[in-house]
Amino acid sequence: MKNHSTKYSTRLRILVSCITLLFVACVCIVVSAQGDSTTPATQQTTTAEKTVEQVQKNIKVLTGLPESQLLPVMNFMRGSLGVRCTYCHVNKDGKWDFVSDEKPEKSSAREMIKMVLSVNKTTFKGNPTVSCYTCHRGRTSPVGVPPLPLPEVTPQPSPDQAKPKEELPTADQILAKYHEALGGSAMIEKLKTRSMKGTWLTSNGISLGYEVYQSGPDKLYTVLNTPKQGVFESGFDGTAGWEKSARGIRALEGEELFYLRRYPDLFKDIKLKEQFTRIAVGGKDKIGDREVYVLRGVTTDNKRERLYFDVQSGLLLRRISNMPTMIGQIPEQVDFEDYRDVDGMKVPFTIRISSIDPFYSSMRKFTEIKLNVPIDETKFHKPAAPASPSP
């Protein structure tokens, strides 16, 4: 399966844009059907987000799932089974028919979703503990019998025999050291804007020109230069997200807005403490040859996260975030590398994002980063559309 990945990813990127277009189209058609179906307790959604059954045509078991989570959940099922979307969905001559129930695998998947929902409800107090991956581990047929001969089980050292407990710093000390390592709280408080230029390397090795402009906690403007589909500009002005490409200007909704909104915040990976309702030290670990302290926490939007700080430098090296959904925790990992000094602050010049969604898995390598350079406010707003037929 892996050897197809190059072609597959290119297809999927196109596919992703097709689906998101489809979403936007649906949003326009379903004229604000304000159903007040209650979302499950595990879902913390933004106010009044639509659920999948309000937006899609043939939802029988994922009812109540926030619209923005449909594609992450589909990608999660795809990844858990090690298949492509075509395993469950019909694609005739390059045309997708996600609504169709023609494939028996889609029906099996529905039965499986029901089973997962039920086992989590009855056995795991409603937490998404069991997921497709729990059994499938990247294959369609889970292995239910241990292979023989069984490996020798080496006795585990009892906890008190294990190596002596090391004094660990507290979460507050680790976070304070991180701010110190970045350049100190005075520098952080002074931070107003950041502009970055470099490349976006896709998971299948295509290199795209990439620019990011951020201002304060909620304004973003990005430019992605693709060889085949031209320039994609996108922005978020604190309330609305948009995209401008060769196909025109459109508002970003649902899943796309959800992805876009994760990055505007200039302080997202800097002012960490206020993002958590609980955070505590989870021990020591290693990333490559670096020793790291691990902090474990739950964010204000109910994601379980792990943060890894370099023991020596104090800098943040990795952030893993698990988003709870009905059918399991959907992980995303961000690695921060190549910290360099920019006007007295340390900034990572390489950011590696690993996601279950091949489109968002990427390595962003910057060649130029500037701090506190004024950015024209109009950049963040949706550009005025040339006369367009849509309402």
Query: By the criterion CB under 6 A, which residues form the site for ligand HEC?
Result: 19, 56-62, 74-75, 77-78, 81, 83, 85, 87-89, 98-99, 105-106, 108-110, 112-113, 116, 130, 132, 134-136, 140-142, 144, 327
Q: Which of 288, 331, 280, 287 is nearest to 309 (CA)?
A: 287
Nearest-approach distance from CB 277 to ligand HEC, in angstroms = 28
Considering the complex, state which of residue 17 and residue 350 has its C-beta at the smaller distance from ligand HEC.
Answer: 17
| DSSP labels, 302-370 | S-EEEEEEETTT--EEEEEEEEEETTEEEEEEEEEEEEEEETTEEEEEEEEEEESSTTT-EEEEEEEEE
Nearest-approach distance from CB 160 to ligand HEC, in angstroms = 35
Taking the C-alpha atoms of residue 364 and residue 361, their distance in angstroms, rounded to an integer, is 10
| DSSP labels, 263-287 | S--TTTTTS-GGGEEEEEEEEEEEE
Considering the complex, state which of residue 97 and residue 368 has its C-beta at the smaller distance from ligand HEC.
Answer: 97
Query: Which segments of 110-240 are extended strands (E)?
Result: 193-202, 207-215, 219-226, 230-236
Considering the complex, state which of residue 86 and residue 173 has its C-beta at the smaller distance from ligand HEC.
Answer: 86
Nearest-approach distance from CB 54 to ligand HEC, in angstroms = 11
Considering the complex, state which of residue 52 and residue 315 has its C-beta at the smaller distance from ligand HEC.
Answer: 52
Nearest-approach distance from CB 255 to ligand HEC, in angstroms = 10
Considering the complex, state which of residue 145 and residue 384 has its C-beta at the smaller distance from ligand HEC.
Answer: 145
Helix, strand or coil for residue 215? Answer: strand
Place of tokens 């307790």: 41
Nearest-approach distance from CB 125 to ligand HEC, in angstroms = 17
Taking the C-alpha atoms of residue 240 and residue 57, their distance in angstroms, rounded to an integer, is 26
**Residue 6 one-letter amino acid:** T
Nearest-approach distance from CB 44 to ligand HEC, in angstroms = 21
Considering the complex, state which of residue 88 and residue 315 has its C-beta at the smaller distance from ligand HEC.
Answer: 88
